[in-house]
Amino acid sequence: MFVWRKRAGAGWLAANEVALREIAGRRLAIVSTPGHKNAIAEIASPNYSELEKIRKRFGGVIEKLPRNWVRKFLRGQKPKSLKIAKRLVIVSSTASGKMSTSKSNCLLIPAGAAFGTGEHATTAMTLRLLERMTRCWGAQAASLPVSAASRNFFEKFRPSAGCRRMQAGSLRSLARGFSLLDLGTGSGILALAAARFGAKRIIAIDHDPIAIATAKENARRNKIEQVDFQVADVRQWKFPARIDIITANLFSGLLIEILPKLKCAEWLILSGVLREQEPQLLRTLKRNGIAVGERRRRGKWIAMLGSAHPAELPRRCIGENVRYCEQNVRATPGKKFDAA
């Protein structure tokens, strides 16, 4: 394993971060120290020639890491945990004593080479949007009469004729659990979280074979079997005719390129976008008939929930419908539902 590093000031990073992310995606790390003006940009890769191209373009140095560098780095690190509402806890080690892989509300995602455990802003925001979006699916909603689920989930939509196909499809999904496509899966954390949230059919793809191998190991570690992991380029991959949810934690340029293909989903959760890239992405979404229902911002990153079915989707309508669904679930005898 090799790592490219460059120490640089805020101006250089602002001018080059987008280009670096288009090359390296989530493998780019920006390491800053309080009280210091400069930060360090790092990209890890087993491919020396890839990093050499980066060095020639951006400067910096390349170092070879020792074989057991991950173990040395993690030695002495405190186990981390990430809580998503009251439905999921993600930990990096069972040493924290907070989870067992046999529990349906827990995930064990060990920290490893270039793959996070959910704490990055883009992943955390996507996880929280996914959690909100799926509260009416799974065991809680599937146990409700369809009429009750229908009344509560769509009460605030007052759908036009253009919305009714989406409404009927979502009602069928409520009863059977949902399907999800995770683009750029990395450690597999979003796909595995979807399984915990009640997904019955999950496809997770990444162009990096190391990422897919890591994701498969995480699925095995958490005893999750319903995920189909595939090594593929999202620009060339054949998308299904219909799927309930797509999560795409990708850099902005790639999102814009593949956006027309994402309209096969009833709901889109998009992240990996910097704030300065938001206007261009919003314009592209509008041109493709995709309405944005909710936006979240954390630091320099944004995430958004959208849908092409219907285009009339009002902003933050999902939050309103989730609250109505929660009220119904709480009122169901023998059912317990914890809201965020």
Inter-axis angle of helices 317-330 and 146-154, to 10 degrees?
Answer: 150
Provide the CATH number for the domain around residue 277: 3.40.50.150
Query: In this structure, is residue 243 part of a structural domain?
Result: yes
Cis ω on the peptide bond leading into residue 310 (within 30° of 0)? yes
Closest CA to 320 of 163, 156, 134: 156
The verdict on 138 and 235 lying in the same domain is: yes
The verdict on 132 and 243 lying in the same domain is: yes
Cα–Cα distance measured from residue 173 to residue 169, given in angstroms and rounded to the nearest whole number: 6
Structure tokens at 167: 């409404």
Query: In this structure, is residue 86 part of a structural domain?
Result: no
Q: Are 264 and 243 in contact (CB under 8 A)?
A: yes
Identify the pLDDT of residue 27.
Answer: 78
The verdict on 53 and 131 lying in the same domain is: no
Query: In this structure, is residue 292 part of a structural domain?
Result: yes
The verdict on 44 and 147 lying in the same domain is: no
- Domain membership of residue 8 as a residue range: 2-65
Identify the pLDDT of residue 24.
Answer: 82
Identify the pLDDT of residue 69.
Answer: 55
The total of other beta-carbon atoms located within 10 Å of residue 71's CB is 9
Domain limit, last residue, from 27, 45, 65: 65
The verdict on 49 and 157 lying in the same domain is: no
Provide the CATH number for the domain around residue 37: 3.30.70
Tell how strand 179-183 and strand 106-108 pair up.
unpaired
The verdict on 123 and 246 lying in the same domain is: yes
The verdict on 177 and 42 lying in the same domain is: no
Per-residue model confidence as pLDDT tens for the chain (340 residues) = 788 989 988 889 888 888 888 888 767 878 776 677 788 888 888 888 989 999 999 999 998 877 655 555 555 555 567 888 888 888 876 554 455 554 668 888 876 544 555 667 888 999 999 998 888 664 444 443 333 433 443 343 333 333 444 444 444 545 467 899 999 998 899 999 999 998 989 999 998 888 899 899 999 999 999 999 999 999 999 999 889 999 999 888 889 999 999 999 989 999 988 888 899 999 999 999 888 888 899 888 899 998 887 543 444 444 444 444 444 444 333 333 333 3
Query: In this structure, is residue 336 part of a structural domain?
Result: no
Please give the torsion angle defined by the CA atoms of residues 118, 188, 212 and 55, in that order, rounded to the nearest 10 degrees.
-20
Summarised one tens digit per residue, pLDDT across range 24-66 is 876 787 877 667 778 888 888 888 898 999 999 999 999 887 7
Which DSSP string do the residues of 209-260 spell out, in sequence order?
A: HHHHHHHHHHHHHTT---EEEEE--TTTS---S-EEEEEEE--HHHHHHHGG
Summarised one tens digit per residue, pLDDT across range 125-149 is 999 999 988 886 644 444 433 334 3
The verdict on 274 and 151 lying in the same domain is: yes
The verdict on 172 and 315 lying in the same domain is: yes
Q: Are 214 and 114 in contact (CB under 8 A)?
A: no
Judged by phi (left if over 0) then psi (alpha if -120 to 50, else beta), residue 279 lies in: alpha
Query: In this structure, is residue 80 part of a structural domain?
Result: no
Q: Are 210 and 189 in contact (CB under 8 A)?
A: no
The verdict on 306 and 157 lying in the same domain is: yes
